[in-house]
Structure 1
């Protein structure tokens, strides 16, 4: 019996040491953060109002509807992008050397939150990485464009 206790005493510290050295699971990224929630809502708005012209991958339609992939319109000043959604556009538009002719209907019926969400989605999808758009920013631009 003493041999068993002796052997157990020898191996107990080894077991504790091995247990302490086990890799700990990495902390998970927060899900449900305001950024993630906004982008998820924006994806829904995009699917309903933008996808048919700008396509699921943001590539647009050549000569008709511009792409949303790493263009100065998407990654540039937020106010320009917000105005585009609020007012739409007619006639030809040149983006990064390509000309597009299709009319973009105004989407002023969308709430400030919906516009902020969809633009945050676009600015952070299709290979884009840009700051989020806030409802407050949309509200300021909307007040100036009436």
Structure 2
């Protein structure tokens, strides 16, 4: 009982870092992103590479590139929505027009969508803030 009260006191007062040897928050977040990127690569290879190619280069005039993609990197919510709900019609990526139909991948879990977007948005010249499963869940409801 006393031990439980002590633990509750430590957690509610924010003193846990003083009594437990934990990693800094930035290191934990970096490790979490690193794991997400590994999982995301598998999701990408299974679901995306056939159109967008193994290195995200796309196919000119057919499938837009994900590598160094201004369209992809401009709006993270739009990127989440595109994976979840698909995309139809004309878009402009890096100054080139593409008219395409990308199928919805709503069969992917929230974690898989977050992971594949983290992989895509942090490779091939792209750099973005991590997407979380909670963000995907919120977009899925729209």
TM-score between both structures, scaled by the size of structure 1: 0.73
Secondary structure, counterpart of 1:69 in structure 2: coil
Residue 117 of structure 1 corresponds to 115
Largest Rg, 1 or 2: 1
Residue 140 of structure 1 corresponds to 138
Question: Which of 58, 72, 75 in structure 1 is aligned with 2:73?
Answer: 75
Structure 2 residue runs without a partner (length 5+): 1-26
Q: Which has the higher strand share?
A: 2
Question: Which of 31, 37, 61 in structure 2 is aligned with 1:33?
Answer: 31
Residue 56 of structure 1 corresponds to 54
Q: CA RMSD in A?
A: 1.7
Deviation, structure 1 residue 66: 0.3
| Structure 1 stretches of 4+ moved >6 Å | none
2:54 counterpart of 1:45: no
Q: How far apart are the structure 2 equivalents of 1:74 and 1:92? A: 14
Q: How far apart are the structure 1 equivalents of 2:61 and 2:99? A: 6
The aligned runs of 1:64-103 (5 Å cut-off) are 64-103=62-101
Deviation, structure 1 residue 73: 2.5
TM-score between both structures, scaled by the size of structure 2: 0.75
Q: How far apart are the structure 1 equivalents of 2:123 and 2:94? A: 19
Structure 1 residue runs without a partner (length 5+): 1-28
